[in-house]
Amino acid sequence: MGTPLKPPEPQAAIVFGASGDLTRRKLLPAFWHLFVEGLLPQGFAIVGYARSKMTTQEFQERARDSIREFAKTDPVGEEWEEFKKLLFYLPGEFESELAMEELCALLVTLDESRGTNGGRFFYCATPPMDYPLIVARIGESRMNPEARIVIEKPFGRDLESARELNAALHRVFDESQIFRIDHYLGKETVQNILAFRFANGIVEPIWNRRYVDNVQITVAEEIGIEGRGAFYEQTGALRDMVSTHLFQVLTFLAMEPPVSFEPNRLRDEKVKVLQAMQECSPERVVRGQYEGYRSEPDVAPDSTTETFVALELLIDSWRWAGVPFFLRTGKLLNRKLSETSLSFRDVPFNVFKGTDATVPQRDHLTFRVQPNEGILLDFNVKRPGLSMALEPAQLDFDYQTSFQAPLVDAYEVLLLEAMKGDHMLFTREDEVERAWEVLTPVLLDPPEVRPYRPGSWGPDEADALIAPRRWHVCPPPGQKHVPESE
């Protein structure tokens, strides 16, 4: 992210779990886009590795289908024929001690035939329980020196398992070789929080407890668990979304300016936010479960897994002491929306007292992460007319209107950065462990799960959690703004 846009050094990308959904939906389309943009290395190959029996030709055909379905540019003509030549497939079992032998041999041939030059970029797109074994096998086959490895969230399911995973990784790789992906960091709109804060002089003076009353982060999804019952039963909203995506947004909002735009300086500041965060009290957490969840396939009929969670977090720093950070996320909610807003303090007193004017709302600054990506400032204005009456108004920055170009997919950004070896957008070991530590009291003593109606904004208890304040979200495009809440 910090370096100019140019292709990475020659390398072979080895995708473990190549027959899975992540490879199909995200990785292959992202590699294809990078190829079309001329951003793949000169010497390059993608080796798919998975248990499924498949030939290279079948893998190429599958790749074409998934690119057709999920990519912005169609895989056709000379361009596709060239990209196809980069794709290889090897069936294999990680359990077998010989698992990596064939892979090593293939990679050596590719170093010659495709010019990958000994560069190794491992991507674990498998279920997380496979990571330790894959990593150990890479170590045994001595492919680890100089290699890079990407692993997908979740990074453990609590502090202890995160520590175990980190230890397993460090037996084979140095931290500088490890890239923990959280796709929220690849989103333009999340990175733009940094640009907005640190490239604009007007922002810093008001970015603190003196002016900010509370900060909110909402990541609402309209979809349910989409057949992922087995995974979700083990995970739930807190582990799936809060310790990862929502914490990434929170640390970008709350961090101090880094001393430089270097990966470790930026990551130091994120970790400091988590260090200053009070451990989350179960009393300030609401867990919800949508009605009907227990009848989903692979879900226990008496499941207490949460599909919604809302919580309050406090940060003991000079900037944020006493400012509550309210977070909420859930499945089958009213609409798809990821937003974060700073809600500013009320005016000290109403100078319009005694007139017809009442101050209609607090000022809010909202980052619309998705959809309708942009930034919205809500404030109050005089309604045109002969009397002094006030009305809410907005300043609206909208990516589509301003740039008229589709936003780059998060995976494209993250693949490129990891292949270049830039850690800016990846989670560091200490960050992962501290995030789990903050949530430990809730994981050990989770509050009872409350039912909510699909299509709602979660259980009523989530409104009680934030009261007397209210949850703030932007209205859908084209609809009039309703002050303070929906």
Q: Which residues bind ligand BG6 (CB under 6 A)?
A: 221, 240, 338
The nearer residue to ligand BG6, 289 or 338, going by C-beta atoms, is 338
Task: Give the span between the Cα atoms of 44 and 107, in whole angstroms.
Answer: 11
CB nearer ligand BG6, residue 111 or residue 152: 152
Instruction: Print burial letters for 4-28: b (CB count within 10 Å at least 16), e (below 16).
Output: eeebbebbbbbbbbbbbebbbebbb
Nearest to 293 by CA among 218, 229, 221: 229
Question: Is residue 245 flagged as an active site residue?
Answer: yes
436 contacts: CB under 8 Å, gap ≥ 6: 156, 158, 159, 162, 243, 443
Output 240 or 378, the one with its CB closest to ligand BG6.
240
Residue of 371, 298, 306 lying closest to 332 (CA atoms) = 306
Instruction: Return d(Cα 297, Cα 316) in angstroms, integer.
Output: 43
The residue annotated as part of the active site, out of 33, 245, 364, 423, is: 245
Query: From CA 145, how far away is CA 124, in angstroms rounded?
Result: 17
Identity of the residue, 88 or 457, whose beta carbon is nearer to ligand BG6 in the bound complex: 457
DSSP-assigned letters across all residues of 9-36: -SEEEEEETTTSHHIIIIIHHHHHHHHH
> What span, in angstroms and rounded, lies between the C-alpha atoms of 389 and 357?
5
| Shortest Å, Cβ 239 to ligand BG6 | 9
- Identify which of residues 10 and 186 has a Cβ nearer to ligand BG6 in the complex: 186
The least CB distance from residue 202 to ligand BG6, in Å, is 29
Based on CB atoms, which residue is closest to ligand BG6, 111 or 417?
417
Q: Which helix or strand (DSSP H or E) is residue 436 part of?
A: helix 429-444
Structure tokens at 107: 């990679």
Pairing of strands 337-344, 364-370: antiparallel
Q: How many Å apart are CA 252 and CA 273, to the nearest integer?
A: 9
Whole-angstrom CA distances from 354 to 42, 199, 348, 357, 386 are 72, 41, 16, 8, 16
Helix (H, G, I), strand (E, B) or coil at 446: coil
Q: Which is nearer to ligand BG6, 288 or 392 (by Cβ)?
A: 288
Which residue of this chain has its Cβ atom nearest to ligand BG6 in the complex? Answer: 240
Q: Least Å distance between CB 42 and ligand BG6?
A: 32
Choice between 43 and 236, CB closer to ligand BG6: 236
DSSP E strand stretches across 51-177: 87-91, 120-124, 148-152
Closest distance of CB 29 from ligand BG6, Å: 14
Look up residue 296 and give its amino acid.
E
- Shortest distance, position 65 Cβ to ligand BG6, whole Å: 22
**Largest Cα–Cα distance of the chain, in whole Å?**
84
Annotated active-site positions, please? Answer: 245
